[in-house]
Amino acid sequence: MKSFLKLALKYWLYNQLFFLGAIIIAIISAFLCSILIINGTSYAYIFLFSMFVIIGLILLKQPFKFYWFKTLNVHNDSLAKLSCASLLPCSVGGLAFAFFFYSCNGSMIDLLSSLYFYLLLLIHGSFLILLLVLLYNPEYIILFFLITNLIPLAFFASYIYKICGVKLPLFKPAACVVAILAICGSITNYTIENGITVRSHKFAYENGLSSVDLSKYKITNPNNILPKLNEPSTLLLTQDEWLTLDGAEAAYPVYSAFANACYDGIQKYQYNKIALTGDEKDKINTEFKKYVAFNNTVYAFKDLINKRCDVFFGAMPSQKQQEEAAALGEELVLTPIAGEAFVFFVSSDNPVESLTRQQVRDIYSGKVKNWQPLGGEDRRVLAFQRPEGSGSQTLLQHIMDDTPIMEPLKTEYIPSMGGIGESVAEYNGDAGALGFSFKFFLTGMLGRKDAPVKILAIDGVYPTDENIRSGQYPFTTKLYAITLKSNTKPQLTHFLNWMQSPQGQELAERVGYVRLN
């Protein structure tokens, strides 16, 4: 037993050294390719890189032959021990990874920040690369793991043949390892399918604050699609009376339309037809954003309670946001300006047409995890959420009442060479995905052209304008203009009243919201 452990330890060290050597070869190969190929195609780069790596591995093979020469010459035990020792790092590494990954619920952040990560590196240095592979292409994890172990194993078998003149018997031990890795693969796949981490495409506008392009709703854009009144506005504010407006992504079109109608002379900030330089546009935008800003829900609300803006447009504030305002001694005033529906949507391929309120609670509490009992296919429910503090997440919390919400699905990514990050995963169009949003944002702003979806009825009631206005649709809500009670600007009161007037309601409806009763 003692001799076997020594042999296994020596093979483990060989495996680690071989991996380090392969990394150095890959780095040198990439450097040489970057020098030799300047204007070539990617195929030429891949071909040349592969050739350099193969040459490097051939050169790497010889030093390790001397590493094994004495050991294999004096080895008196059965060849079965050599086989088992050579397959031990692969099988132990696979089992350890599967167990650690499962223990971390499929979260790379948790795995990389735990002791497990260092144990994996101790077992095999290649896990440093393998974890990056898992981050982007988890389905290839077993393939890459095998490659990083099979190459040094093939070299080891050739050493035995050249030094001892015999072939390494690998069939039976390899069959056991394959069975072990099959179990590891099943555990890894189960963890990926049922963990909290999903992969999704991210879209960034407005310096990362918006998931859709807002340019068509901007007053600065001379080709904007903002609706206009057929008569002069009954409220016109001079520039020294203009209020600072900010709010949620879904609210931007409506408060932009309000400013366009009531802010006398604001059209002067439109880009003229003559081509402008980037600096000139930046100058216009900087001045314009003093009045019509966009910082999305979380940051815009912080600006409101810190008195950096006058009106915040969005859904009802969360309990946490109300507490933040109270901590600053501020009292919030909520003025409803339009009707809206909070809707749940799925892929258009999903056969489910309706959910009950209780089913929604069961899904987002984690009680129901499959579409089959809901009338769908035997498929996992990917119930996406929104970041804490966003308007739609606040509405979900309101719907859930006292029922705890399960941990949201996460997207993990590498923001830079400096580390790894994670965020709440966005709806990705998967056949089992379930998302939620405000109806106007989904159908009017987003359109879901990239991944067609259908809105679900709730308790058999579809969110039509009439059902929203009458309150028959269960998850009706309001779009609010939220202000501070301490803000005593006289024009603020006039502006709030105007938004509820026939003219304000006409613009809200033409944007895509529902008139108040």
Summarised one tens digit per residue, pLDDT across range 132-176 is 655 555 555 555 666 677 788 888 888 888 888 888 787 777 788
Select from 254, 248, 256, 329 the least CA-distant residue to 289. Answer: 256
How large is the average pLDDT for residues 388-394?
A: 79
Can you tell me the mean pLDDT for 346-353? Answer: 90
* Per-residue model confidence (pLDDT) at position 319: 85
Tell me: the pLDDT tens digits for 403-419?
A: 999 888 876 554 443 44
User: Does 491 score more than 90 pLDDT?
Assistant: yes
Query: How far apart, in Å, are the Cα atoms of 157 and each of 167, 217, 255, 409?
Result: 7, 67, 72, 45
Q: Using a CB cutoff of 8 Å and minimum separation of 24, what contacts does 68-73 make?
A: 68/14, 68/156, 68/159, 68/163, 69/163, 71/7, 71/10, 72/159, 72/160, 72/163, 72/164, 73/163, 73/164
* Of the candidate ranges 222-226, 406-410, 414-418, 474-478, the one whose mean pLDDT is the lowest: 414-418
pLDDT in tens, 232-284: 999 999 999 999 999 988 899 999 999 999 999 999 998 875 667 777 788 88
- 């309990």: which residue's tokens? 319
Choice between 225 and 417, residue whose per-residue pLDDT is larger:
225
What predicted TM-score, i.e. pTM, was given to this entire model?
0.64
Supply the pLDDT for residue 417: 39
